[in-house]
A = this chain, B = another copy of it.
Amino acid sequence: MSKRATAREVAEQAGVSKWTVIRAFTPGASIAESSRVKVMAVAEKLNYRPNLLARSLATNLTHQVAVLVDDFENPYKLSFLERLTLELQSEGLVAVLININEHFDHVHALLNADQRQLDAVIMCGTAFRTEMLQDVRLDGAAPIFVLARDSQIPGVPAINCDTTLAIKDLCRHLHGKGYRRPGFMAGPKTLSTALGRRRAFKAFWKAQGIAEMPELAAHHYSAASGAEAVRRYLNEVPPAGRIDVLLCENDVLAFGAMDVIRSEFGLKVPADIAVAGFDNTLFAAAPAYDLTTYEQPVEAMVKATVAMILGREPKKTVILPGRLVVRGSA
């Protein structure tokens, strides 16, 4: 039942001042080896370890980083969280995971992070309105980073995959495969716009002299919404006038789309309609989907983010190239 020992208690038992105890636990502090050993022995006995809370109060560094997430339906988020926590922890930082939802929005989260003196805030692919950040006065607060999404906010760097390049790579592949009647499935309007994938898609095909590009609108970034969108389309448009390839804004939408195309309409992928996604989610590789998609450079993005947080790199928007993953679906 030995309660947490404090530096003062250790000092008493070791017969030194508490500052000497602190020094023993401060790497690079000037302290005699003899007293260091003595202190450490007593510390071990009393089960003493420095109180990081008190340290944070004194140093103004919590070594904690807020990670804001709002879409838990996308398994892809899990990869991001894994890499992010891994990278943070390897640098002595930890992630405070904040669930952004109707009851707890960005402003709420930002204020909270501020009050807890967190060292940085990473908005991990969260959907936010640019105006939102201007409402909040966070002058002395932690720097904010936008991960896996663009940021138009001055002073708030984004670390993102090169969307233009990515969509171009994807579309070039589809075009090379001979598809000429492309369709695009987007998520909710505002969020979709922020991703910029639709724009790049239209630009590519227009450059190829193809003007007609049906758009299927999904209400959420979920398989169910993807399914619903494609169901609506297939019910409305007779076979002759249909698209021959569908690029979905992300894998989750693509999964839902493929499910409906095959199970409900008895069509073949890619023979009748080819499908491609974005993210290279774990399941994209499963034979059941075998989805052609695009992989974001998660590790590089995460490393770049953490480097900026640590001040090893200047804070500025970074765009990194990803990787086209060709599989059987398109």
Which residues in window 50-78 of A have CB below 8 A to B?
A: 50-54, 56-57, 62, 64, 67, 72-73, 75, 77-78
Residue contact B3 to A140, C-beta cutoff 8 Å: yes
Q: Is the CB of B89 within 8 A of A98?
A: yes
A116's contact among B53, B103, B259, B262, by CB below 8 Å, is which? B53
Partner of A286 from the list B57, B85, B141, B255 (CB cut-off 8 Å) is B255
**Which of A107-115, A191-199, A319-327 lines the interface with chain B?**
A107-115
A154 contacts the other chain (CB 8 A): no
Q: How far is the CB of A122 from chain B (nearest CB, A)?
A: 12
B72 touches A78 (CB 8 A): yes
Name the B residues within 8 Å of A81 (CB-CB). 72, 81, 97, 99
Query: A99–B83 Cα gap in the complex (Å)?
Result: 9
A297 to chain B, nearest CB (A): 18
A89 adjacent to B94 (CB under 8 Å) = no
B residues within 8 A CB of A79?
Answer: 72
- The answer on a CB contact under 8 Å between B141 and A282 is no
**A95's contact among B73, B96, B223, by CB below 8 Å, is which?**
B96
Q: How far is the CB of A256 from chain B (nearest CB, A)?
A: 8
Contact indicator A82/B72 (Cβ below 8 Å): yes
Query: When chains A and B are docked, how far (Å) is the Cα of A112 from the Cα of B101?
Result: 29
Cβ distance A84 to chain B, nearest Cβ, rounded Å: 9
Pairwise interchain contact A86-B115, C-beta atoms closer than 8 A:
no
Which residues of the partner chain B approach A50 to less than 8 Å between Cβ atoms? 115
Bound-complex Cα distance A77 to B56 (A): 31
Q: Is the CB of B282 within 8 A of A73?
A: yes
Contacts of A52 in B (CB 8 A): 115-117
Judge if A288 is at the interface, Cβ distance under 8 Å.
Answer: yes
A115 touching B49, Cβ below 8 Å: yes
Residues on B with C-beta less than 8 A from A137 are 2, 47
Least Cβ–Cβ distance between A42 and chain B, in angstroms? 15
Enumerate chain A interface residues (CB-CB to B < 8 A): 1-4, 47, 49-54, 56-57, 62, 64, 67, 72-73, 75, 77-79, 81-82, 85-86, 89-90, 94-99, 101, 103-104, 111-112, 114-117, 137, 139-141, 223, 255-256, 258-259, 262-264, 282-283, 286-289
| 15 pairs of residues in contact across A and B, judged by CB atoms under 8 Å | A4-B114, A51-B117, A52-B117, A72-B78, A75-B78, A78-B78, A94-B97, A95-B97, A96-B96, A255-B286, A258-B288, A259-B288, A262-B287, A263-B287, A283-B283
Q: Assuming A52-B117, A64-B96, A89-B103, what are 19 further A-B pairs, CB within 8 angstroms?
A: A3-B139, A4-B114, A47-B139, A53-B57, A53-B62, A53-B116, A64-B116, A67-B97, A75-B75, A77-B78, A90-B103, A94-B116, A96-B97, A223-B282, A223-B286, A255-B286, A259-B286, A263-B287, A286-B288
